[in-house]
Amino acid sequence: MAAIIETEGLVMQFPSTLALDRLDLHIPPGVTGLVGANGAGKTTLVSLTLGLLAPSSGTIKVLGLDPAVHGPELRAQIGYGPERNVLPDDLRAYDFVRHLAEVKGLPRDEARTRASDSLYLVGLGEERFRALGTMSTGQRQRVKLAQAIAAAPRFIVLDEPTDGLDPVQRDEMLNIIVQVNRDFGIDVMLSSHVLEEVERVCDHVVALDQGRLVAQGPMHELAGASGGVEIELVEISDRPAAIGNVVTQLETAGATVDRAGSVIIATGLPDDDLFDLVGDAVASAEARLRRLAPRRRSLDDIFTANADNVSAAEAGATR
């Protein structure tokens, strides 16, 4: 599959900071999450993707082109939603989106039409003639998304698009991002430090930590089923030992059990056996089952484990 972004040995060295350290990336079409804590190198990678910075060494190709060589041609095909508040307060949303669509090369009439269309798409159709300075944080984030898609790009880069949004607004924004990819075929790279939202909407993930690649690959491989079951029981006041009895029976049968309150994670046996065991144990202990599901490894787990591995390997190498 042709990569949207491909890098080899990508290094970005600032005077006092190594922002990216020998990254080899292959980002395929779809929605890709770029995750990592603050200072992980996400924004530097975004800047390199757009050609705002030139790499210290290594190569980067975006849509098959080198941003340093084919910058103007490439940037006309990329939409960019920055993290920073870059909206001029006294401009109307429509004027802002239309202007940037024109700068991206759309004819004036087309830019006007598409500015309105994209603002409708993000749910700001009725608000499009309001000054940006009078809009809420959620509305301004939507305006940034609208301007990123207005010029009909092949690929959009969104830097922390849910920053400052409440849970409802965040859900709406994530739904729009998925819609942009699914309905309009625009590939998306979403930079975020909120792993949960990346897990929810992304097909692929790239995890960075202090400029190093921690993990990359399809989301279902990185954060899919991991073996084992997750059980949640109801605490019953007249049978306080019920949960403990379930744990004991599972351990006796050879499962490895990790309990946190009323939540139990059982591993160490084939999943089918574990499901049967849990059913028998709950019945014999007269416990009450609230939830029983295959255990899923979260992106958080992967991120933490891999970051620890990288640190351990480095510590070993320096000894």
Partner 1 sequence: MSSFDSPDNTAQIAARGFQPYVGERSGVPGAIRSVTWQAMRSTLGLGRPAKNKIFPVISVAIAYVPAIVFIGLAVLIPSGIVDGPTYPEYYGFVTSAIVLFAALVAPEVLVPDRRNGMLAMYLSTPLHRGTYLVAKMLAVVVTLGLVTLGPPILVLLGYTFDGSGPDGLGNWLIVLMRIILSGVAVSGALTAISMAASCLTDRRAFAAIGVVLVVLATPILAGALVDGAELSENWRLIDVFSMPFELVFRIFGDPGNFPAVSTAAVIGVNLAWTVGGFSVVAWRYSRLVIAR
Residues engaged in binding partner 1 (CB under 8 A): 14, 43-44, 46-47, 50-53, 71-73, 75-76, 78, 80, 82-88, 90-92, 95, 99-100, 102-107, 110, 114, 117-118, 120-121, 131, 149, 151-152, 159, 184-185
Count CB neighbours of 218 within 10 A: 14
- The nearest distance, CB 226 to partner 1, in angstroms, is 36
Distance, CA of 299 to CA of 91 (rounded, Å): 40
- The nearest distance, CB 86 to partner 1, in angstroms, is 4
Strand 5-13, strand 18-27: pairing? antiparallel
Distance, CA of 5 to CA of 185 (rounded, Å): 16
**Hey, what are 26's tokens?**
């292959």
Nearer to partner 1, 159 or 199 (CB): 159
- The nearest distance, CB 179 to partner 1, in angstroms, is 10
Distance, CA of 25 to CA of 132 (rounded, Å): 37
Residue 135 one-letter amino acid: M
CA angle (263 as vertex; 261, 264 as ends), nearest 5: 110
- The nearest distance, CB 159 to partner 1, in angstroms, is 7
Nearer to partner 1, 105 or 217 (CB): 105
- The nearest distance, CB 162 to partner 1, in angstroms, is 16
Computed from CA positions of residues 53, 59, 62, 64, in that sequence, does the dihedral angle turn out positive or negative? positive
- The nearest distance, CB 255 to partner 1, in angstroms, is 49
Write out the DSSP string of 11-61.
EEE-SS-EEEEEEEEEE-SSEEEEE--TTSSHHHHHHHHHTSS--SEEEEE
Q: What's the length of the chain?
A: 319
Nearest residue to 42 (alpha-carbon basis) of 217, 204, 212, 201: 212
- The nearest distance, CB 16 to partner 1, in angstroms, is 12
Distance, CA of 24 to CA of 8 (rounded, Å): 5
Please report where in the chains the tokens 């809009």 appear, as a residue: 135
Nearer to partner 1, 145 or 285 (CB): 145
